[in-house]
A and B are shown apart, each in its own frame.
Chain A
Amino acid sequence: MTDTADRLDAQSIQGVVIRFAGDSGDGMQLTGDRFTSASALAGNDLVTLPEFPAEIRAPQGTLAGVSAFQVHISDHDIHTPGDEPDVLVAMNPAALMSQLGRLKSGGTIILNTDAFDERNLEKCGYEVDPRDNGTLDDYIVHEVPMTSLTLGAVEELDVKKRDAERSKNFFALGLISWMYTRPLEPTIEWVNEKFAKVQTVVDANVMALKAGHAFGETTEMFGDQYEVAAAPNEPGTYTNITGNVATSWGMVAAGQLAKLPVFLGSYPITPASDILHELSRHKNFGVRTFQAEDEIAAAGAALGAAFGGHLAYTTTSGPGVALKGETIGLATSMELPMVIIDVQRGGPSTGLPTKTEASDLFLALYGRHGESPLPVVAAYSPSNCFDMAIEASRLALKYRTPVIYLTDGYLANGAEPWKLPDVDSLPDISVSFTTEPNGDNGEFLPYLRDEIGSRPWAIPGTAGLEHRVGGLEKANVTGNVEYDPDNHGLMTDLRQAKIDGIANDIPLAEVDAVDGAKILLVGWGSTWGSIKAATERLREAGTPTDRVHITHLNPFPSNLGDILRAYDHVIVPELNKGQLIQILRGKYLVDAKGVNKVKGLPFTGGEVVEAVESIVAGTSQGVSL
């Protein structure tokens, strides 16, 4: 166990990027997740990047089956999971082969040598053992027979060899925990809870964990231990949170803040399903979850619940948004509140289900027939998903409109420490149902708008306000079916004006500015961390650079045009082929340049820095990575 003497010996470092990689059956996500939690409890700032194959179990030992988890821990404020890992833990040859290119030159590799047999080498295409032919010369390599050491450690337990081997990820975790002076207790506690049903599994995992730790301590192989101190954070209570959990809690919170029951209609889809899972656990908040027969029904059920007076959501990813388009259009016509949450993933079609991309912006803004404007918001970090879920709900309720709220796979599965908000400080987003006739003659006029253009929300059960809503064009004020050309023009304008008016009800865009900057980086969504890191590096390198991050993508903050026009260089990094930039160029007539990446991965800070430098130097009109 880590005692005080250890800690005194440990060499202090500012931060480290560790990448755990292995077969998808090796439990690398769990290993990374546990190391992250222990680091979070130690007060580090951290950012994670889980990467796993779309298949549940790709063929064992193959490149396709490699699952990796990168975590960046630091004693100061950080924004990305790290450009290049310092340490790679490779549980088999396929993991080594697929991940080696990412490792920092001179970085550390910890190999499970037991997995380096001929069959495994062959499976991933190594003709010669990379340990023998100089492939690893530029790295510090630690060869550890993790499988056999694990088997030895759990020998006394009555478990089958195959089951015992499965604990080797805990051995790796124990070893890394020793190297970075992470206490084992939180992990032991977690193992006890998680595997409570099978005592032998608890015992095997804990024994393997301790064995890994002891191995680091007793062999001289590893030299120094390292310690990453707590990051100086604002005082408060923190928790480690992923984007999907933050979104889910934001939805629960929005229900409380709106004083309305929450209804979620959803259909399982990667990477959004975890929101459905999480919400299903919180029925004690009056949350209803409806796993529908398909994406369309999921949106439809939500719309039905909205008509019934619930705070209605549907959660999905891009393919699901495509299917829900007609229902969302109906909601814009019925002018009922609902929130569509799109956890974006690589497209088109099935694309890269487990990888991140931000290519649904056009879909969100324009993916319906007819003139059907609606608000679009996007979260920028895992914890920000909580706030944006509430913000999307606020806009939907207040303006009686569907709202599309965008996150992505990187935010959804990535984690960061989150300073928990004081519940009392959260905004009141409640609205009132209409309960009395609003017409001069005592009649109810379902499309008589208020000063912000919102129509009354009168729910079934309210006597005297019986009315019918539908997708046919409605007469202004009365809401009766109406085909008159001028009325259609008027209604189209009224719907548009209502959404445009939201610009007056959202925060102005804030520029992270320094003196003398001629460059502005404009971002949206999960690129926030990479762009922030790049901005800081550019400034450190003597290039004053400003940065603005857009959370409200329709309508835009009202000051955005003025901000953009104030710079010589406007550069828009996006994880798509240039969607926001096209809108900015069209709307504000600025000669913005794009930095684009569509590889299923977030930007590294370095990629953005290099792209900006080449654009500013005039060697490039835009960078496509």
Chain B
Amino acid sequence: MTDVTLDPTKRGYWTSDQDVRWCPGCGDYGILAAMQFLYADLAADPDTEVSKENTVFVSGIGCAARFPYYMNTYGMHTIHGRAPAIASGLAAARPDLDIWVVGGDGDMLSIGGNHLIHALRRNVNMKILLFNNQIYGLTKGQYSPTSEVGKVTKSTPMGSIDAPFNPLSVAIGAGATFVARTHDLDRKHMMATFKRAHEHRGASFIEIYQNCNVFNDGAFDAVTKRAARDEMMIDLVHGEPITFGAESQRGIVVDNGTAEIVEIADVDSSRLLVHDEGRDDPSLAFALGQLAHDRQSPTPFGVFRQVERPEYTDGVTNQLLAANEQQGPGDLHALLHSGATWDVN
């Protein structure tokens, strides 16, 4: 038998020797598997170059943030909310690395919201995975910034009164150049989405609907359970009219900036929205993101937006090169003598 830990095209090669410590049944397992399988696939793909020494997973705090321990790559498990900032520094220092940031909704949208939006606005070359389970898991069940209004938790016995964030709206509003959504029950979809993010140059943001079966079980069942998928999941395909439903009988029109679900039979087909990821103006992507305003209505999945914008670490590198060209290579003696000097004999 060959040793899978020696074959990059096998999942085992990308799996660390640490015991995974999520609760049995947690959606995180599926996401981890998708990532490990993806890297096995990427290693097998002659057009892609990946290596475990050049790959780094950076996380904050929370259940999701344990992710780096389980990938047989370099990894940093840091502090609550700060992973995008720490990863930005790593990326700016080491643009050669393949960097992923992993965190939950509390980590990335509450304590670390500031770092998330700034990493996206700068367009730092890294892939940001937001495991959205709409609850604080590691601290045992308080409502999170993505929990629905009225949510009863240990810290909100009378129901939450906070309006939740829509993670995609936050990302699009922050100027993210790659924005996508996937969910923990569909490994193939996750792998395909992660792969797209991996190919993108700049900051990629992926919201993953993730089930916390201990504190918020079934939060996404109405949308992602197999039986519901046909009617509730809207598959976004670039260049094609957006349709869904068992008979592909429903579509989307945008009216006055608002995306609406329609029965295709009821509208002129020219009005049906054709998905265009590459549209520079983010308003359509934003409208699509707003479509799933609760967890009970049809929800788009896939890549909402993928546009080209100057990437941050390229800017860093270019300035270093330009400075070198304009000022010549650094000369410490010259630097120390660059002010007015005088001699004492």
Interface residue ranges, A against B (CB under 8 Å): 37, 40-41, 43, 186, 230, 233-241, 249, 252-253, 256, 261, 263, 265, 282-288, 290, 292-294, 296-297, 300-305, 307-310, 312, 326-327, 330, 334, 419-421, 423, 459-472, 480-481
- A selection of 11 A-B contacts at a CB cut-off of 8 Å is A284-B329, A296-B85, A297-B88, A304-B86, A305-B93, A307-B86, A326-B79, A463-B53, A468-B76, A469-B77, A470-B77
**A302 with B89: CB separation less than 8 A:** yes
Q: B89 touches which one: A284, A300, A423 (CB < 8 A)?
A: A300
Most A C-beta atoms less than 10 A away, residue of B61, B88, B118, B322? B88
**B77 with A305: CB separation less than 8 A:** no
Q: Nearest-CB distance from B128 to chain A (Å)?
A: 14
**A330 with B343: CB separation less than 8 A:** no
* Interface check B292, CB cutoff 8 A: no
A301 and B89 in contact (CB under 8 A), knowing A249-B336, A284-B326, A309-B94? yes
**How far, in whole Å, are A307 and B68 apart by their CA atoms in the complex?**
14
A303 and B89 in contact (CB under 8 A), knowing A284-B326, A423-B333, A463-B53? yes
Nearest-neighbor residue (CB-CB) of B54 within chain A: A461
Nearest-neighbor residue (CB-CB) of B330 within chain A: A285
Which A residues lie within 8 Å of B92 (CB)?
Answer: 263, 288, 290, 301, 305
* Interface check B256, CB cutoff 8 A: no
**How far, in whole Å, are A234 and B118 apart by their CA atoms in the complex?**
51
Nearest-neighbor residue (CB-CB) of B333 within chain A: A423
**A466 with B73: CB separation less than 8 A:** yes
**A252 with B339: CB separation less than 8 A:** no
A293 and B69 in contact (CB under 8 A), knowing A309-B93, A461-B53, A463-B53? no
**A304 with B58: CB separation less than 8 A:** yes
* Interface check B332, CB cutoff 8 A: yes
**B115 with A466: CB separation less than 8 A:** no
Q: A460 touches which one: B56, B320, B341 (CB < 8 A)?
A: B56
Q: B76 touches which one: A296, A423, A463, A470 (CB < 8 A)?
A: A470
Residues 1-43 of chain B: 1 if any A CB is under 8 Å from the residue's CB, otherwise 0? Answer: 0000000000000001010000000000000000000000000
Extra 19 A-B pairs, beta carbons < 8 Å, given A41-B340, A238-B342, A290-B88: A37-B340, A41-B342, A235-B344, A252-B332, A263-B93, A288-B92, A288-B316, A293-B118, A301-B88, A304-B90, A308-B89, A308-B90, A460-B54, A460-B97, A461-B96, A465-B53, A468-B75, A470-B76, A471-B78
Most A C-beta atoms less than 10 A away, residue of B93, B324, B336? B93
Interface residue ranges, B against A (CB under 8 Å): 16, 18, 51-58, 61, 68-69, 72-79, 82, 85-94, 96-97, 114-115, 118, 316, 319-320, 322-324, 326-330, 332-333, 335-337, 339-345
**B53 with A286: CB separation less than 8 A:** no
Q: B72 touches which one: A287, A297, A304, A466 (CB < 8 A)?
A: A466
Which A residues lie within 8 Å of B93 (CB)?
Answer: 261, 263, 288, 304-305, 308-310, 312
**B320 with A286: CB separation less than 8 A:** yes
**B340 with A40: CB separation less than 8 A:** yes
Q: Nearest-CB distance from B56 to chain A (Å)?
A: 5
Give the 5 A-B CB pairs with smallest separation, nearest first.
Answer: A301-B89, A470-B77, A285-B330, A304-B89, A297-B85
**How far, in whole Å, are A308 and B319 apart by their CA atoms in the complex?**
20
**B339 with A240: CB separation less than 8 A:** yes
Most A C-beta atoms less than 10 A away, residue of B85, B92, B322, B337? B85
Q: B332 touches which one: A292, A304, A330, A423 (CB < 8 A)?
A: A423
Which A residues lie within 8 Å of B114 (CB)?
Answer: 293-294, 297
**How far, in whole Å, are A80 and B88 apart by their CA atoms in the complex?**
43
